[in-house]
């Protein structure tokens, strides 16, 4: 089928484009390259444009005539969204509305939305299921929750089958070393931050919070290999084409891993041992957040195949061999 992928030059989007192409689908990427990279989708048709530009997007839809849309384009920092509320709502909500309107007008049948576990906020129990009420704690999380409602309304009223995929923490790189993340200095994600320390780009690793009620005192999160996440998108898209199982789905490994475990695993695969220090936890950080993935397994038969060691090994090899993909950053780790 013809699949339009907004934000397809970004990290998860570009891995999903690879999965779509390997399955024989025709792909068109729409991206403004504000955070995505042209080389991430080299050889793939790319329309350069902003998802809020309705006239531009209308022309793209009219020419490509997609059967399906995968929507990745958007801003994704919870911390940044606390001071840039308007920009996050404009890009993540108005931009999505523009894509959905074009999808409705051009008869798109299938829509897969890149949502986030941030819609849950701090859930009362873990693993968290899709039945837990949304309680976002940042404008970013709120924008994703609002986006899910928009997708549901368009799905219902425009006869579009849809899936809101609530990601947990994507990490890792291609097993063959050909592709991985490009991480700006402002991005505070655990794997690139530990790898920066292992490469000597920063003096050490500082973990925020050592007194959480967990096995080692550090926060526990769910980390999923980006190739597993990309294959989940493919499986969901093809599953929706076969049967109307529209809804919201967690996409994670389904197990919790502590920040300390991540640090130890990256140190092990890299053979480097940068020093570790601890600071106070950030207000609002939940002790643990990981997914119950029963629903996506039952509906689409999808399960992740990579473990924590594979995530760490592929991420380490990618950044070690391509150090320009990391920017200097001395931020601290809390697990988000």
Adjacent-strand bridge partners of 2: 26
DSSP, residue by residue, 136-202: -SSHHHHHHHHHHHHHHHHHHHTT-EEEEEEE-EEE---TTSS----B-TT---HHHHHHHHHTTSS
Which one of 11, 88, 140, 167 is the catalytic residue? 140
Vertex 293: Cα angle to 290 and 296 (nearest 5): 145
Task: Let me know if 167 is a catalytic residue.
Answer: no
CA distance 164 to 238: 15
In 7-44, which positions are buried (b, 16+ CB within 10 angstroms) versus exposed (e)?
bbbbbbbbbbbbbbeeeebebbbbbbeebbeeebbeeb
Tokens matching residue 171: 């990490």
Alpha-carbon distances of 313 from 16, 72, 307, 320, 321, rounded to whole Å: 20, 26, 10, 10, 12
Q: Report, as residue numbers or ranges, the catalytic residues.
A: 140
């Amino acid at each position: 089928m013809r699949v339009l992928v907004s934000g397809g030059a970004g990290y998860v989007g570009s891995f999903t484009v690879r999965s779509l192409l390997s399955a024989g689908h025709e792909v068109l990427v729409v991206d403004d390259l504000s955070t995505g990279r042209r080389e991430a989708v080299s050889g793939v048709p790319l329309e350069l444009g902003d998802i809020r530009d309705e006239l531009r997007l209308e022309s793209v839809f009219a020419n490509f005539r997609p059967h399906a849309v995968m929507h990745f384009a958007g801003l994704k920092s919870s911390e940044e969204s606390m001071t840039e509320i308007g920009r996050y709502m404009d890009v993540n909500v108005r931009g999505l509305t523009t894509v959905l309107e074009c999808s409705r007008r051009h008869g798109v049948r299938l829509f897969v939305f890149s949502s986030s576990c941030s819609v849950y906020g701090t859930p009362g129990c873990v693993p968290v299921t899709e039945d837990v009420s949304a309680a976002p704690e940042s404008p970013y999380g709120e924008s994703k929750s609002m986006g899910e409602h928009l997708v549901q309304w368009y799905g219902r009223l425009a006869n579009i089958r849809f899936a809101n995929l609530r990601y947990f923490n994507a990490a890792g790189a291609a097993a063959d070393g050909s592709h991985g993340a490009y991480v700006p200095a402002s991005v505070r994600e655990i794997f690139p931050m530990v790898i920066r320390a292992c490469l000597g780009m920063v003096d050490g690793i500082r973990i925020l919070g050592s007194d959480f009620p967990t096995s080692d005192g550090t926060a526990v999160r769910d980390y999923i290999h980006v190739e597993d996440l990309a294959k989940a998108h493919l499986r969901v898209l093809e599953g929706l084409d076969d049967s109307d199982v529209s809804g919201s789905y967690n996409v994670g490994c389904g197990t919790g891993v502590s920040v300390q475990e991540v640090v130890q695993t990256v140190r092990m695969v890299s053979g480097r041992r940068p020093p570790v220090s601890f600071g106070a936890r950030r207000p609002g950080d939940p002790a643990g957040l990981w997914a119950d993935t029963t629903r996506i397994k039952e509906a689409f038969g999808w399960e992740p195949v990579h473990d924590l060691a594979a995530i760490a090994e592929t991420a380490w090899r990618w950044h070690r061999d391509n150090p320009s993909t990391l920017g200097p950053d001395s931020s601290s780790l809390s697990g988000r």
